[in-house]
C-alpha cells in the first residue's frame, strides 16, 4: 500500500512509500496490472527493463500471487539500456534480470530480446533498433500515433544520483539524439563505458514510464527532476522524461522523496 499517492501538476504521479518492502509490493502490483490490461487489449505486453537496484525491487513478481497470476507467456522483454559486455559478465543488465527475475518465471525464451554482445556498441545499438523495428511491424510492440517511434507498454527506469536514466547521462550528446530509437556510447561516466540506450524520443513514446528511485542519496536529483526549479535543471535527463501521450509514475521511498516540495502536489 503506497504511503501516499500524489499527482504533480506536470511531472506525473508519485507513489511514495514508507519502506522498500512496501515499494516492492506496490511496484509488483503496478506491473501486474499493466500486464493484465495490455494482454487484454493487445494480446501481448512489451516491457523494457533497466539495470541497477530496479531488478531487486521487482523481485516480488517471482512470488505468489504474481508468479501464478501474471500471463508470462505474453511478455516481450527488452532493455532500455544495456552494457556492451558478455551476457555472463557481472556488469550485464541481461544477466542481472535473468538471475533475479526471468529465470524464475515462465517467460518464453524467444520473447527475451537482449542485445548482440559480440559486436561493437555502435553495431549493437543499430542491430537492436532493427530487432525492435521488426517487432513494431508485427505489432508485438505498438507504434506511437504521433511519431514513428515504438510505443512500449511499459518502460522501467532507475535513476542515478546525477539524475541519469537508462544510459542518458547529464550533458552527454546522447541526450540530443532525435532520429534513432536506440543509440550507443563508449564513454559512459558510470562504468562500464560501452553501452546502448533507448533515446529520449523512444522513452517518451511509451504508454507508461515508471522511474523507480530509493535512498536519500538520490533525494537532490529527485527534487531537481520533479520540482519547479531554476533554468539549468530541464537538462537533467530524468527531467527530460516526459511521455508525449503516455503516463509517468515515480516510485519513491521516503528517503528519495525527502527533498520534494510538497506545495506542488495534489491528492489523486
Ligand atoms: O545500466 C545501468 O547502469 C542502469 O540501467 C542505470 O540507468 C541504472 O538504472 C541507474 O544507474 C540507477 O541504478 P541504481 O538503482 O543501482 O542506483
Domain count, the chain: 1
pLDDT score at 3: 63
Q: Average pLDDT in the 173-183 region?
A: 97
* Closest C-alpha residue for ligand 1 atom 13: 52
Whole domain around residue 26: which residue ranges? Answer: 4-267
Please determine, for residue 1, whether its predicted confidence score (pLDDT) is greater than 60. no
User: pTM of the full predicted structure?
Assistant: 0.97
Task: Tell which atom from ligand 1 comes closest to the C-alpha of 81.
Answer: 5
Tell me the pLDDT band of 10, cut-offs 50, 70 and 90. confident
Tens digits of residue pLDDT in 12-54:
999 999 999 999 999 999 999 999 999 999 999 999 999 999 9
Tens digits of residue pLDDT in 82-139:
999 999 999 999 999 999 999 999 999 999 999 999 999 999 999 999 999 999 999 9
pLDDT score at 167: 98
CB 188 within 8 A of CB 195: yes
Whole-number Å distance, alpha carbon 166 to ligand 1 midpoint, is 7
Task: Tell which atom from ligand 1 comes closest to the C-alpha of 54.
Answer: 15
CB 170 within 8 A of CB 164: yes
Tens digits of residue pLDDT in 142-171:
999 998 899 999 999 999 999 999 999 999
Omega before residue 192 within 30° of 0, cis: yes
Please determine, for residue 266, whether its predicted confidence score (pLDDT) is greater than 90. no
Show the CA angle centred on residue 19, arms to residues 49 and 268, nearest 5°: 75
Whole-number Å distance, alpha carbon 36 to ligand 1 midpoint, is 27
Q: Average pLDDT in the 71-83 region?
A: 98
Q: Average pLDDT in the 244-265 region?
A: 92
Tens digits of residue pLDDT in 199-251:
999 999 999 999 999 999 999 999 999 998 876 666 899 999 999 999 999 99
Ligand 1-lining residues (CB < 6 angstroms): 50-54, 81, 83, 93, 158-160, 164-166, 190
Rounded-to-integer distance, Cα 35 and Cα 267, Å: 25
pLDDT score at 261: 86
Rounded-to-integer distance, Cα 224 and Cα 232, Å: 10
Strand boundaries in 80-181, DSSP class E: 81-83, 142-143, 150-151, 154-158
| 3-class SS of residue 183 | strand
Whole-number Å distance, alpha carbon 218 to ligand 1 midpoint, is 12
pLDDT score at 240: 96
* Closest C-alpha residue for ligand 1 atom 7: 166
Q: Which three cell numbers stand for residue 15?
A: 507513489
Question: Mean pLDDT, the chain, as a whole number?
Answer: 95
* Closest C-alpha residue for ligand 1 atom 4: 51
Whole-number Å distance, alpha carbon 138 to ligand 1 midpoint, is 30
* Closest C-alpha residue for ligand 1 atom 16: 52
pLDDT score at 151: 98
DSSP 8-class letter at 112 = B
* Closest C-alpha residue for ligand 1 atom 3: 51
| 3-class SS of residue 18 | coil
Pocket test for ligand 1, best of 20, 23, 50 (most atoms within 8 A of CB): 50
* Closest C-alpha residue for ligand 1 atom 1: 51
pLDDT score at 4: 86
Whole-number Å distance, alpha carbon 81 to ligand 1 midpoint, is 9
Q: Which three cell numbers stand for residue 248?
A: 509517468
ipTM exceeding 0.90, yes/no: yes
CA dihedral 252, 21, 92, 105 (to 10 degrees): -120
Rounded-to-integer distance, Cα 76 and Cα 69, Å: 17
Which phi and psi (to 5°) does residue 209 adopt?
A: -125, 125
Strand boundaries in the chain, DSSP class E: 4-8, 12-17, 45-49, 75-79, 81-83, 142-143, 150-151, 154-158, 182-185, 195-198, 208-213, 247-253, 265-267
Cell 524467444 sits at which residue?
110
| 3-class SS of residue 17 | strand
End-to-end distance of the chain based on CA atoms, in angstroms? 15
Task: Tell which atom from ligand 1 comes closest to the C-alpha of 50.
Answer: 5
Tell me the pLDDT band of 181, cut-offs 50, 70 and 90. very high
Rounded-to-integer distance, Cα 150 and Cα 190, Å: 27
CATH number (domain holding residue 103): 3.40.50.1360
| 3-class SS of residue 62 | helix
Which residue, among 220, 221, 219, has the nearest Cα to 254 in the 3D structure? 219
pLDDT score at 200: 98
Whole-number Å distance, alpha carbon 207 to ligand 1 midpoint, is 21
Amino acid at each position: 500500500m503506497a504511503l501516499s499517492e500524489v499527482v504533480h501538476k506536470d511531472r506525473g504521479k508519485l507513489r511514495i512509500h514508507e519502506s522498500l518492502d512496501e515499494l516492492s509490493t506496490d511496484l509488483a502490483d503496478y506491473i501486474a496490472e499493466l500486464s493484465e490490461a495490455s494482454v487484454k487489449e493487445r494480446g501481448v505486453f512489451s516491457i523494457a527493463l533497466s539495470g541497477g537496484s530496479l531488478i531487486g525491487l521487482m523481485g516480488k513478481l517471482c512470488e505468489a500471487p504474481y508468479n501464478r497470476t501474471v500471463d508470462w507467456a505474453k511478455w516481450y522483454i527488452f532493455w532500455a539500456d544495456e552494457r556492451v559486455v558478455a551476457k555472463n559478465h557481472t556488469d550485464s543488465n541481461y544477466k542481472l534480470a535473468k538471475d533475479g527475475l526471468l529465470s524464475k518465471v515462465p517467460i518464453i525464451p524467444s520473447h527475451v530480446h537482449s542485445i548482440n554482445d559480440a559486436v561493437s556498441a555502435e553495431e549493437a545499438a543499430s542491430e537492436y533498433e532493427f530487432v525492435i523495428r521488426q517487432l513494431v511491424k508485427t505489432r508485438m510492440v505498438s507504434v506511437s500515433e504521433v511519431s514513428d517511434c515504438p510505443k512500449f507498454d511499459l518502460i522501467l527506469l532507475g535513476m542515478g544520483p546525477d539524475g541519469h536514466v537508462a544510459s542518458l547521462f547529464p550533458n552527454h550528446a546522447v541526450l540530443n539524439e532525435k532520429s534513432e530509437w536506440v543509440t550507443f556510447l563508449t564513454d559512459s561516466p558510470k562504468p562500464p563505458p560501452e553501452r546502448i540506450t533507448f533515446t529520449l524520443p523512444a522513452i517518451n513514446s511509451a504508454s507508461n514510464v515508471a522511474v523507480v528511485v530509493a535512498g536519500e542519496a538520490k533525494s537532490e536529483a529527485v527534487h531537481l527532476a520533479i520540482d519547479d526549479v531554476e533554468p539549468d535543471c530541464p537538462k537533467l535527463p530524468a527531467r527530460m522524461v516526459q511521455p508525449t501521450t503516455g503516463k509517468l509514475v515515480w516510485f519513491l521511498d521516503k528517503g528519495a522523496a525527502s527533498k520534494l516540495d510538497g506545495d506542488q502536489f495534489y491528492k489523486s
